[in-house]
Chain A
Amino acid sequence: MSEINTVRSKGTLQLINGKKFKGELVANETGAAFYAKGQKEPMAEWHYARMNRMDNIRRGGTSSQITVILKDDARYVFDLNQGLKLYSHMDKNWADKPVRAKTRGDILHEQAERLGQKIEVPKKHLITRRHPNRSIGGDIVIYLLLLLVAVAMVFPLVYLVGSSLKPLDELFRFPPPVWPSHPTMDNFADLFVTMGQSWVPFSRYLVNTLFITVVGTFGHLVVAGMAAFVLAKYEFPGGRMFFGVVTTCLMFSGYVTGIPNYLIMSKLGIVDTYWALILPAFAAPIGLFLMKQFMEGLPTALIEAATIDGASRFRVFWSIVMPNVKPAWLTMIIFSVQALWNNNAATIIYSEAKKTLVYALGQILAGGVARTGQSAAANVIIVAVPILIFVFSQSRILETMASSGIKD
């Protein structure tokens, strides 16, 4: 073992439990060791998983980082300041890691050129391990389980769509087919005929739904966004407690508060108006909760800089904070639209002309056996809207949900 193939680096070793040690890392062909400051014995030692001679070691971009490349193309990076990490090139996320896969080829070719040799690029492995602690058997079991459950989850939805496309003779056939052999749109056509015959025109329901959803969602976004902003970014007496109460109220949605809500709304005189649906939607706890958690991730420096520049609080909120939390907006909008869309509000709105589309469709849904096809068609429409919205916005929603945790 030559001294050239040994790399030393000073740095801080951080363990998973957060303890930090100052010291020196020594890496060579067979492994690496970390010596805490002033200690003769290594505090920790690692041996490379494969019995391979080290091919090349080099310093990475920062002084505290060492990349070790083995002959079989396994690479390890020691990143001392952010904890000791072993990166294997098999890791799928290699690309965004400190060393690019290209580096090795470059170095090899450089060396080969210098020595006038031909080099062989190692063959790619057939099965790559993307994660250290995964057995292939376990992966297969999990994939099978997922597939099985996914089929069970999706089956009722497929059956629903199938039923809505069935002609009458197939709806009452034994055994009932899951998917019709002669799909038809008749049920949807019938549905519109039925809705057209009702006392209030179909378009009226649609306008009601649109109005309630748009106004409710927009108001929710502004009102809850403003509250979330101050709760997330300023420390003031009562703020923390208020947020605690909101978190608890996440549980009390819908029916449990139905009765007193009705009493309060009738005192306010908004029963049987659109406001009975819109105003509570403004204050939906889930929106404030998600928005606040997401805004906490926003750098405070951004706000401070704007405040020093003389921007008013509302300006900071409107032109700095809000544009930076667009994923959270979208999530709020979607949850709000879903809640408003699925809210048939039979108890607080009773005049037919103010009812929502889902309510009207729900009446057909309850129509009994004779309308099986039509009610399936109505159900497909009710269900399709929120699912489609989710399909098109899921990556943004997941981005927001990443900060959804409740810190105790």
Chain B
Amino acid sequence: MQSQSFANRYLTMRREKIAHGWTLAKRNRGCYLFLAPYAILFFMFFILPIGTSICLSFTYYNMLEPPRFIGFQNYINLVLQDEVFLTAIKNTFVAAVIVGPVGYILSFLFAWFINELPKWLRAVAVIIFYAPSIGGAAFQVFAIIFRGDNYGWFNSILMELGIISEPYLWLTDPRYMMTIVIIVSLWMSMGTGFLSFVAGFQGIDRSMYEAGYVDGVRNRWQELYHITLPSMKPMLLFGAVMSITSSFNISDVPRALCGYPSTDYAVRTVVTHLFDYGFSRFEMGYASAIATILFLIMILSKKAIAALLGRVGT
């Protein structure tokens, strides 16, 4: 009796909620009209591709014959047979684990330091730090700097100093390739997230600091933890999303600097692997499985970071 009335009440509540939603939707018909153009395009070029990718990952598809359903075979092959994929996963993780967090923390620290500068100097500093990531192809200059002959700047400096006696093949020797890709990626890591941080610092009400001072905050680190971080949480999450995106999508740098495919697959990443299967071998099903795995990794990392940030400053 009791439970039934509870169930009834629950059902009534649901019904009312739906009815309320319906009236709200009807009253705001115009909103959907406004949203429609964007929603359609967004669906077509962002949602549908992700859906297609997930569906195709369970098929064999080479663009010539229609897709053939093969269950989890692609995933099984990826993990059990494709040694290059495991290398790619390893490389991606090494790069992402270093470039992601380090780039993120550096972006935040330097945004914080820059915020302490006088205004005119701040503008200059923001441009200097942001320029590498904004200027898309700028990193290609590292091909000249790390060139494997005497005319490479890095080689020549080391030889002048007597550290090495003959030029090193920085970009084709598997021992150094990964390090260089990581350095270059870090150089480019002060991106949109960094801008968001700089803006976030400027948006904090200065009187919060004064109040903090009164309440016993005694140095800049305490101030950072107790006042700055809690009020920057939304920017921190945005920055995290941006840095996940850039660190898991590393592919331009290794492709342009170290060649494609790279020596011994030393800098092959998940995205270059995907490129290889998708656009060179046309094994679309297999490539889609790689993409799906990447989606999952990225969504999980975002969830983890959001949970982590939830605890900051409390």
Residues of A at the B interface (CB closer than 8 Å) are: 15-16, 46, 79, 82-88, 91, 93, 131-135, 138-139, 142, 145-146, 149-150, 152-154, 156-157, 159-160, 163, 171-176, 178, 223-224, 226-227, 229-231, 234-239, 242, 245-261, 263-264, 268, 279-280, 282-283, 285-286, 288, 313, 317, 335, 338, 341-342, 347, 358, 362, 365, 372, 375-376, 379, 382-384, 386-387, 390-391, 394-395, 397-408
Beta-carbon contact of B144 and A398 below 8 Å: no
Contact with A along B140-161 (1 / 0, CB 8 A): 1110110000111100110110
Enumerate the 8 nearest inter-chain pairs by beta-carbon distance, A residue then B residue, closest first.
Answer: A405-B234, A383-B135, A227-B38, A401-B199, A342-B136, A260-B49, A283-B41, A260-B52
Which residues on the A side are within 8 Å of B129 (C-beta)? 149-150, 153
Other 10 A-B pairs with CB < 8 A, given A236-B32, A252-B50, A255-B275: A131-B116, A157-B132, A174-B150, A227-B37, A230-B28, A251-B241, A256-B295, A259-B278, A260-B49, A260-B56
Measured CA separation A346–B189 after assembly (Å): 25
> How far, in Å, is B193 (CB) from chain A's closest CB?
9
Beta-carbon contact of A263 and B127 below 8 Å: no
Beta-carbon contact of B156 and A175 below 8 Å: yes
Which residues on the A side are within 8 Å of B125 (C-beta)? 146, 150
> How far, in Å, is B231 (CB) from chain A's closest CB?
10
Which residues on the A side are within 8 Å of B237 (C-beta)? 405-406, 408
Chain B interface category by residue count: 35 or more
Among B39, B138, B140, B278, point to the contact of A242 (Cβ < 8 A): B39
Interface residues of B in 87-146 (CB under 8 A from A): 110, 113-114, 116-117, 123, 125-132, 134-142, 144-145
Q: Is B180 an interface residue (CB 8 A)?
A: no
Beta-carbon contact of B199 and A398 below 8 Å: yes
Q: Is B182 an interface residue (CB 8 A)?
A: no
Beta-carbon contact of A282 and B41 below 8 Å: yes
Beta-carbon contact of B138 and A86 below 8 Å: no
Beta-carbon contact of B144 and A372 below 8 Å: yes
Which residues on the B side are within 8 Å of A138 (C-beta)? 219-220
Q: A153-B128, A226-B34 are in contact. Are A86 and B198 (CB under 8 A)?
A: no
Which residues on the B side are within 8 Å of A248 (C-beta)? 299, 302
Beta-carbon contact of B138 and A259 below 8 Å: no
* 26 A-B pairs in the complex with CB atoms less than 8 angstroms apart: A15-B211, A16-B211, A93-B206, A132-B210, A135-B220, A138-B219, A142-B113, A149-B129, A154-B131, A176-B153, A229-B34, A230-B35, A245-B47, A256-B249, A256-B271, A257-B50, A259-B53, A279-B45, A283-B38, A338-B134, A362-B137, A376-B144, A382-B137, A386-B135, A387-B135, A398-B202
Closest B residue by C-beta to A145: B113
Beta-carbon contact of A154 and B53 below 8 Å: no
Q: Is B195 an interface residue (CB 8 A)?
A: yes
Residues of B at the A interface (CB closer than 8 Å) are: 21-22, 24-25, 28, 30-32, 34-35, 37-39, 41-42, 44-50, 52-53, 56, 110, 113-114, 116-117, 123, 125-132, 134-142, 144-145, 150-153, 156-157, 159-160, 187, 190, 192, 195-196, 198-200, 202-203, 206-215, 217-220, 222-223, 227, 232-238, 241-242, 244-245, 249, 251, 271, 274-275, 278-279, 284, 287-288, 291, 294-295, 298-299, 302, 306, 310
Closest B residue by C-beta to A268: B44
Closest B residue by C-beta to A163: B144
Which residues on the A side are within 8 Å of B291 (C-beta)? 256-257, 259-260
Beta-carbon contact of A131 and B196 below 8 Å: no
Q: A46-B214, A85-B207, A85-B211 are in contact. Are A283 and B46 (CB under 8 A)?
A: yes
**Which of B37, B56, B126, B140: most chain A Cβ within 10 A?**
B140
Measured CA separation A382–B28 after assembly (Å): 45
Beta-carbon contact of A256 and B294 below 8 Å: yes
> How far, in Å, is A268 (CB) from chain B's closest CB?
8
Q: A132-B210, A133-B213, A145-B113 are in contact. Are A404 and B199 (CB under 8 A)?
A: yes
Beta-carbon contact of B45 and A237 below 8 Å: no
Among B127, B202, B271, point to the contact of A255 (Cβ < 8 A): B271
Beta-carbon contact of B141 and A376 below 8 Å: yes
Measured CA separation A358–B50 after assembly (Å): 28
Measured CA separation A336–B236 after assembly (Å): 23
Which residues on the B side are within 8 Å of A259 (C-beta)? 53, 56, 274, 278-279, 284, 287-288, 291
Which residues on the A side are within 8 Å of B187 (C-beta)? 152-153, 156
> How far, in Å, is A174 (CB) from chain B's closest CB?
5
Which residues on the A side are within 8 Å of B206 (C-beta)? 91, 93
Among B131, B278, B298, point to the contact of A153 (Cβ < 8 A): B131
Measured CA separation A229–B44 after assembly (Å): 21
Beta-carbon contact of A227 and B298 below 8 Å: no
Q: A237-B24, A257-B49 are in contact. Are A252 and B298 (CB under 8 A)?
A: yes
Beta-carbon contact of A150 and B214 below 8 Å: no
Beta-carbon contact of A175 and B157 below 8 Å: yes
Which residues on the A side are within 8 Å of B123 (C-beta)? 394-395
Beta-carbon contact of A146 and B227 below 8 Å: no
Measured CA separation A248–B296 after assembly (Å): 12
Closest A residue by C-beta to B207: A85
**Which of A234, A253, A399, A402: most chain B Cβ within 10 A?**
A402
Measured CA separation A69–B50 after assembly (Å): 64
Which residues on the A side are within 8 Å of B116 (C-beta)? 131, 134, 139, 142
Among B28, B132, B199, B234, point to the contact of A406 (Cβ < 8 A): B234
Which residues on the A side are within 8 Å of B114 (C-beta)? 146
Which residues on the A side are within 8 Å of B52 (C-beta)? 260, 263-264
Beta-carbon contact of A223 and B37 below 8 Å: yes
Among B34, B113, B144, B211, point to the contact of A146 (Cβ < 8 A): B113
